[in-house]
Amino acid sequence: MIPLVTQTFKNSGQDFQYNIHDRACLDTVPMEDVGRWYSALRNLTRYIRDPASEYWVKLKPGQILLTYNWRVLHGRSAFTGRRRVAGCYLPRDDVISRARVLKVI
């Protein structure tokens, strides 16, 4: 099982994985702590789903949204009409390197 919070690179902050619909069996937590673990997960879920914790963006045709997938919780709501959603994954080091070359960071 992958932990919810991990530190990937020294001094780079933490990565966060949360998908309430994609959980493996809980075999890494001692049996006596399972109840507290699920209680903590419920509290975390309440906080994440609190409207005060959300930031909504409605993209216009032609706009793109770039996120660091391991650092930003993201999702989408129901939609009627036509749209095309495409995803891609870029290696973090490549993005950072290109941003430095372009003097964006």
Question: What is the tens place of the pLDDT at every residue in 72-85?
Answer: 888 888 888 888 88
The model's pTM is 0.64
User: Structure tokens of 97?
Assistant: 């390197």
CA 22 distance to own-chain centroid = 13
pLDDT in tens, 4-49: 666 666 666 677 778 877 777 778 889 999 999 899 889 989 998 9
3-state SS of the chain: helix, strand, coil percent to 5?
A: 30, 5, 65
User: Between vectors from CA 26 to CA 72 and to CA 87, what angle results, nearest 5°?
Assistant: 30
